[in-house]
Amino acid sequence: MISLTEIFKTYQIAEDKINVLNNINLTVERGDFFAITGPSGSGKTTLMNIIGCLDKPSSGTFMLDNINIMNCNEQELARVRNLSIGFVFQNFHLLPRMSVIENIHIPMVYAGVPKKERDSKAKIALEKVGLLEKANFLPSEISGGQKQRVAIARAIVNEPEIILADEPTGALDTETSMTIMNHFLHLNNEGTTIIVVTHEKDIASFANNQIVVRDGSIVNTEAPHRKDRLS
């Protein structure tokens, strides 16, 4: 489903060229729960942003669902982000002046979903993460774990095939992290492809497939020891 071939990402800083990603080759199958691990600064986020069509590689081939992303224009990329991908970020990225439910509306607004349908879909998504009663709260009025659950609801509301989560538990305590990961596991069981970036072993252990990135290269591909999956 996701296929990266000979991906390079280079940043030009003053005179120097720095290779942030070096010849990345990667395949993610439909329904995978995929973990990208590695030390800080190794290029995980850069890779994630490329997979999420937020950024373009300097060279290489990127196929998503048989679409050659390298040939897409900005508008087509926006459409892919809108409908095929759901993002969950480390620091939640909820819009602070909008209520929880209004935040969940955003992807549907850009997808052109009519207001009534948006309302019911947003409620269903909120219910899935168990936060229906917080619908009209502002992000500042709920806890970090709850914010991340709202972000998950927002990520799944357009029913994307892939969810990309960049250090989704990085700002949360262990117990809350487990709740969040269980939500991902649940979504994965329903058929959604999940890609999680993390540097924590505990978190990576939720995945059934894992790569380790170091200095912009994949150093090792392994299937981690999996925790018992939710039935």
Partner 1 sequence: MSFIENFKMALFSIFSHKLRSVLTMLGIIIGVSSVVIIVAIGKGGEHLLKSQISSSENNLQIIYQPNNPTQSPNNITDGNFNNSDINLLKSIPEVEDAVGLSSRVVELEYNKTANESTTVLSVNHNYIKEHNFEFVNGINFTRKNISSGERIAIVNQESVKRLFDSQNPLGEIFWLSGQPIKVIGITKNSKEAFGLDTDIYLPESTYKVVFNENNYNQLTLKVKDADSLKTAGEKAQKLLNQAHNTEDSYQVINFKEISKGIENVTSTMTLIISSIAGISLVVGGVGVMNIMLVSVTERTREIGVRKALGATKQQILTQFLIESVTISIIGGLLGVVIGIGISTIISLVAGWPVLISWSILIIGIIFPMIIGVLFGIIPANKAAKLTPIESLRYE
Ligand X SMILES: Nc1ncnc2c1ncn2[C@@H]1O[C@H](COP(=O)(O)OP(=O)(O)O)[C@@H](O)[C@H]1O
Q: What does 83 bind: Mg ion, partner 1, ligand X, none (CB cut-off 5 to 8 Å by kind)?
A: partner 1
Q: Which of 52, 60, 139, 216 binds partner 1 (CB under 8 A)?
A: 52
Rounded to an integer, what distance in angstroms lies between the CA atom of residue 200 and that of residue 198?
6
Window 36-55: residues binding Mg ion (CB under 5 A): 45
| Helix/strand/coil percentages in the chain, nearest 5 | 35, 30, 35
Report the nearest approach of partner 1 to the CB of residue 85 (Å): 9
Compute the residue count for the chain.
Answer: 231
Between the two ends of the chain, the Cα-to-Cα distance in Å is 24
Report the nearest approach of ligand X to the CB of residue 49 (Å): 8
Rounded to an integer, what distance in angstroms lies between the CA atom of residue 185 and that of residue 229?
7
Give me the 79-108 binding string for partner 1, x by CB under 8 A, dash otherwise.
Answer: x-xxx---x-x---x-x-x--------xx-
Q: Which residues bind ligand X (CB under 6 A)?
A: 11, 13, 20, 38, 40-46
- Enclosing H/E stretch for 10: strand 2-13
Q: What does 55 bind: ligand X, Mg ion, partner 1, none (CB cut-off 5 to 8 Å by kind)?
A: partner 1
Report the nearest approach of Mg ion to the CB of residue 231 (Å): 32
Token pair 């058929």 is at which residue?
191
35 vs 129, beta carbon nearer ligand X: 35
Report the nearest approach of partner 1 to the CB of residue 45 (Å): 9
Distances (CA, A) of 191 to 32, 114, 185, 214: 8, 26, 10, 30
- Enclosing H/E stretch for 209: strand 209-214
**Per CB under 8 A, does 138 bind partner 1?**
no
**Per CB under 8 A, does 136 bind partner 1?**
no
Distances (CA, A) of 130 to 90, 148, 183: 20, 12, 10
**Per CB under 8 A, does 116 bind partner 1?**
no
SS3 33: strand
Report the nearest approach of ligand X to the CB of residue 167 (Å): 8
Phi/psi of residue 114, each to 5°?
-65, 155
Binding site for partner 1 (CB under 8 A): 49, 52, 54-55, 74-75, 78-79, 81-83, 87, 89, 93, 95, 97, 106-107, 109-112, 154, 158
Binding site for Mg ion (CB under 5 A): 45
